[in-house]
């Protein structure tokens, strides 16, 4: 079966609409196991690899651990030209004694430091898509876009993007980029998944949800591709299916609405002979707008299973819950 690719208008970017997330790189997998996972991802048609300078600084003592793991593989494999490489900078400090995601780190100096460090960790001379990991509304969109445009002009990044920005701020950035003749943001990372509609708020209120307004924005603005994070709902439906309702009562997804969704997940598994991951990720292929969800596997078997979601003939009606 030929898999459908997604391309971002006014760029040369085209890839399978599925990104390999690396928040657990160096924690759950490293070295030879990481090599096997990255290679399997490419062998199954993937190319979009997502990391961030902050992954996983919250686990001492290593800083920028995930970027180091990705860089190790890129150096060993020689496959840099087969990858659409994403990383993100400007995240609040997570290695300090009392991390606070409300303490912004998005000055130009912060971004220069993060980007240069990322390039060193990743063993590359450029990033394909470089993201602001958060927003700082004390700075104007003009200031923030100009910093990214400077990185682009220097050849350090091919394209730039945003994560956890509001729709209003993205629209303002689009308008400014257009007025200056810049390409502007090519992608946006926000929370969207099968359970988002009914979930309780996350503890970190700096994480932005792809609500109805943002989804309409992406439907109208195909040049800014939505790359949803938390695509498998932090394992809520996996635990529900494997262990039952009692196992998920501490989850922000534990609501009456998502218990109904969980029952539909089981129905779809039976209808299509699919796994939980395939049903949960199949949701993204039924949206009105293109998107490329990010998925962080626990091991190579989980990755290969998840990537088969593209082979299941789900319909939009399956997800009308």
Our count of domains for the chain comes to 1
Question: What per-residue confidence (pLDDT) applies to 109?
Answer: 98
Is 281 inside any structural domain? no
Q: How far is 61 from 147, CA to CA, in rounded Å?
A: 30
Is 204 inside any structural domain? yes
Is 247 inside any structural domain? no
Residue 121: CB partners within 8 Å, gap ≥ 6? 53, 64, 67, 68, 70, 71
**CB–CB of 153/145 below 8 Å?**
no
> Residue 292 is part of which domain span?
6-234+287-300
For residue 36, which phi and psi values (nearest 5 degrees)?
-65, -40
Question: What per-residue confidence (pLDDT) applies to 1?
Answer: 58
Closest CA to 303 of 31, 16, 36, 32: 36
Question: What per-residue confidence (pLDDT) applies to 3?
Answer: 80
Is 129 inside any structural domain? yes
Is 245 inside any structural domain? no
SS3 29: strand
Q: How far is 39 from 321, CA to CA, in rounded Å?
A: 36
* β-pair type (294-295, 225-226): unpaired
pTM summary value: 0.97
Closest CA to 65 of 27, 94, 96, 34: 27
Is 87 inside any structural domain? yes
Residues in the chain: 321
- CA atoms in the 13 A half-sphere facing the CB of 161: 27
Q: Which residues does the chain have with pLDDT short of 50?
A: none
Q: How far is 43 from 233, CA to CA, in rounded Å?
A: 26
- Residue percentage of the chain with pLDDT more than 90: 98
Is 41 inside any structural domain? yes
* β-pair type (294-295, 19-21): parallel
Cβ atoms within 10 A of the Cβ of 58, count? 10
List C-alpha distances in Å: 141 to 3, 177, 216: 37, 9, 21
Question: What per-residue confidence (pLDDT) applies to 280?
Answer: 98
The domain that holds 13 is classified in CATH as: 3.20.20.100
Is 272 inside any structural domain? no
């Amino acid at each position: 079966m030929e898999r459908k690719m997604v391309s971002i208008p006014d760029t040369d970017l085209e890839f399978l609409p599925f990104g390999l997330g690396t928040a657990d790189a160096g924690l759950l997998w490293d070295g030879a196991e990481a090599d096997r996972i990255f290679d399997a991802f490419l062998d199954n048609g993937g190319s979009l690899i997502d990391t961030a300078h902050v992954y996983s600084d919250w686990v001492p003592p290593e800083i920028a651990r995930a970027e180091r793991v990705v860089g190790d593989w890129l150096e060993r494999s020689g496959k840099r030209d087969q990858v659409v490489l994403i990383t993100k900078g400007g995240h609040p400090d997570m290695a300090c004694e009392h991390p606070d995601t409300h303490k912004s780190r998005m000055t130009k100096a912060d971004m220069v430091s993060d980007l240069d460090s990322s390039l060193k960790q990743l063993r590359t001379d450029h990033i394909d898509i470089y993201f602001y990991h958060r927003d700082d509304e004390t700075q104007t969109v003009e200031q923030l876009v100009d910093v990214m445009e400077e990185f682009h002009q220097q050849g350090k990044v091919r394209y730039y993007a945003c994560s956890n920005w509001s729709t209003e701020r993205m629209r303002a950035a689009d308008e400014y980029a257009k007025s200056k003749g810049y390409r502007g943001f090519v992608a946006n990372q926000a929370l969207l998944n099968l359970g988002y509609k009914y979930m309780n708020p996350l503890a970190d209120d700096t994480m932005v949800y792809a609500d109805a307004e943002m989804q309409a924005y992406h439907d109208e603005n195909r040049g800014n591709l939505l790359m949803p994070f938390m695509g498998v709902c932090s394992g809520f439906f996996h635990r529900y299916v494997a262990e039952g309702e009692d196992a998920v009562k501490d989850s922000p997804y534990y609501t009456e609405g998502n218990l109904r969704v969980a029952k539909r997940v089981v129905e779809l598994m039976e209808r299509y002979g699919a796994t939980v991951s395939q049903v949960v990720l199949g949701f993204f292929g039924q949206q009105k707008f293109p998107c490329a969800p990010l998925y962080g596997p626990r091991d190579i078997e989980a990755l290969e299973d998840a990537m088969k979601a593209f082979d299941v003939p789900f319909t939009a009606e399956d997800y009308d819950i």
